[in-house]
Amino acid sequence: MNWAIIAVVITILCILLFFRRFEKAEVSAKEIALIATMTTFAGISRIPFAVFPSFQPTTFLVMITGYVFGAQTGFMVGAMSALVSNFFLGHGPWTLWQMLGWGICGVLAGFLAKQVQGFSRKRFAVLSALCGYLFGWIQNIWHWLAFVYPLNMKTFWATYLVSFPFDTLHVFSNIVFTMIFGEIFYAVLKRFQRKFSVEYLECTE
């Protein structure tokens, strides 16, 4: 049984499920434009940091978008950011897992926003740190299934142990970008959100 192929199929189905849900949702042209803009920004911003393994602003940008505009938008921006950036950095089997990983980061940020009022930099930083490790763990799954032999608990933990320094650097970068740019991006995106919102008032005679 080829576990790598099974894992890829499951990953594709998960991504398609989110895409299908987005397709059925009522999304305005302005929202689509916003998703396209943030996707491009998050994807392209990863390129200058390619020389620094795991240190990049993409996770932060995906999460702050999900935090302001909701889990569904966060997933779309996260998934598409991986797709866009890998046109420059190189596509491969890792693209699907990056799409899923960043998409989940956007979803979790959207869930966090429902639990707090305004922008909680401390809670957002904690979640971004957890997502730094979560993203790395998701990438480790496909690497272990596709490139490591034999598949057992010893090689599984070895794979995760080797990636720990890179995952920790990812965590550090998420915290840094949150502390420096978190409130600024939140304010800017909230301003755009208010412009997208239309309030209907019922007229009474």
1 band by pLDDT with thresholds 50, 70 and 90: low
Does a structural domain hold residue 44? yes
Is the pLDDT at 109 greater than 80? The verdict is yes
24 found inside a domain: yes
Which CATH number belongs to the domain containing residue 178 in this structure?
Answer: 1.10.1760.20
Q: Within a domain: residue 42?
A: yes
The residue range of the domain holding 167 is 3-196
Taking only the tens place, the pLDDT of each residue in 45-96 is: 999 998 887 899 999 999 999 999 999 999 999 999 999 999 998 888 889 9
**Closest to 85 in 3D by CA, of 121, 49, 46, 50:** 46
Which letter does DSSP use for residue 52 in this model? S
Q: Is residue 64 part of a domain?
A: yes
Nearest CA to 142 among 107, 93, 202? 93
Q: Which amino acid is it at 67?
A: Y
Q: Is residue 97 part of a domain?
A: yes
* 205 inside domain: no
Is the pTM for the entire model greater than 0.85?
A: yes
Q: Give residue-wise pLDDT tens across range 167-191.
A: 999 999 999 999 999 999 999 999 9
Candidates 50, 171, 181; CA nearest to 105 is 171
- For helices 94-113 and 58-69, the axis angle rounded to 10 degrees is 40
Is the preceding peptide bond at 165 cis, omega within 30 degrees of 0? no
Residue 204 lies in a domain: no
Q: How many domains does the chain have?
A: 1
**Residue written as token pair 């049984």:** 1
Do the domain assignments include residue 71? yes
The number of beta carbons lying within 10 Å of the beta carbon of residue 170 is 26
